[in-house]
Amino acid sequence: MSVRKVSVIGAGFVGASTVQRISEKELANVVLVDIAEGIPQGKALDMKHSSPLTGASHIKGTNNFKHIKDSQVIVITAGIPRKPGMSREDLAKANYKTISAICENIIKYAPNAITIVVTNPLDVMAYAAYKKLGMHSSRVFGMGGVLDTARYKSLLAEELQISVSDISAIVLGEHGDKMMPLINYTTVAGIPIKKLLERDVIDRIVEETKKSGGKIVGYLKTGSAYYAPSAAVTEMVDSILNDKKRLFTVSTLLQGEYGIKDAFVGVPVVLGVNGVERVIELELHGKQLSELKSSTDKLKKQVKLLDI
């Protein structure tokens, strides 16, 4: 049996945390790649030193993209983080060149890998990677909705003083201020959330979910979230490598689903060994569908500005 291998490109906080989580769960051997000399090597060595304590799998830090060869999954986290006052449009222009260069190396060394994009603005960068790689859309997608859903569930659990394990929820749409926590698809052990919380409380939690990422940026000032994003992408990698076929919201190419064409946006999918194995098309009421289409139109405009 061949050794499973995952490569994480970008040795910043999100990338390094993702490597640590994947390694400690022993999902695969992991390669950490970054162009900054010494950074991936140093972080990988530090994690290796923890392996007698954690049982972590093998980790390699490198500046050479040739080491991503034979990876089953590649995770792209490289790029600058959003800073206070920076729009997602500004961030897109800054990170597009990075994504393009990385994709050239993926084509060269690991053309058969499934690629997960974490770099922000996530939906736009996922579309850019898809176009650059020329792969089937089932094998190139973005992480966002898994993280957004986790944040939503965390806030609900805190409000209800109940285990997050009992909460089932879906957040779809863009990974940004226009994300859509679906109240009508939110339950606690099967009980609709509307039976347990007043509507004004639910609305407040929905708004807090939308602002969670920006709130963390505001606190950190020189960076953005990484603990929850790395946990989210690790769950995706687990579902792919172990063919768990879990239902996650990921940013994937829509070609008619929800009335949307040629755009990446977060929708529920089944995630397995072949990547996005099918898109789940939920029944949305009028306002929800119009909001989804509106946010997707905004994403298309951002893509057009990049001239992808």
Q: Could you tell me the CATH number of the domain that includes residue 284?
A: 3.90.110.10
Q: Residue 1: its pLDDT value, please?
A: 47
Cα gap 75→238, rounded to integer Å: 12
Q: Which residues of the chain have pLDDT under 50?
A: 1
If asked whether residues 60 and 140 sit together in one domain, one would say yes
> What is the sign of the dihedral through the CA atoms of 290, 281, 235 and 61?
negative
Q: Residue 119: its pLDDT value, please?
A: 95
Q: What's the one-letter identity of residue 187?
A: T
If asked whether residues 151 and 278 sit together in one domain, one would say yes
Give 182's Cβ-side CA count (13 Å radius).
Answer: 23
Active site members? 175
- How many domains does the chain fold into? 2
Cα gap 167→261, rounded to integer Å: 31
If asked whether residues 135 and 155 sit together in one domain, one would say no
Q: Residue 2: its pLDDT value, please?
A: 66
Write out the residue range of the structural domain in which residue 87 sits: 5-144
If asked whether residues 117 and 178 sit together in one domain, one would say no
If asked whether residues 56 and 152 sit together in one domain, one would say no
- Give burial (CB, 10 Å; 0-12/13-18/19+) of 106: buried
Q: Residue 208: its pLDDT value, please?
A: 97
If asked whether residues 39 and 125 sit together in one domain, one would say yes
Q: Residue 252: its pLDDT value, please?
A: 98
If asked whether residues 283 and 192 sit together in one domain, one would say yes
Taken as a whole, the chain contains a residue count of 308
If asked whether residues 260 and 153 sit together in one domain, one would say yes
Q: Could you please report the per-residue DSSP string of 204-260? A: HHHHHHHHHHHHHHHHHSS----HHHHHHHHHHHHHHHTT--EEEEEEEEEESGGG-
If asked whether residues 206 and 230 sit together in one domain, one would say yes
The answer to whether the bond into 121 is cis (omega within 30° of 0) is yes
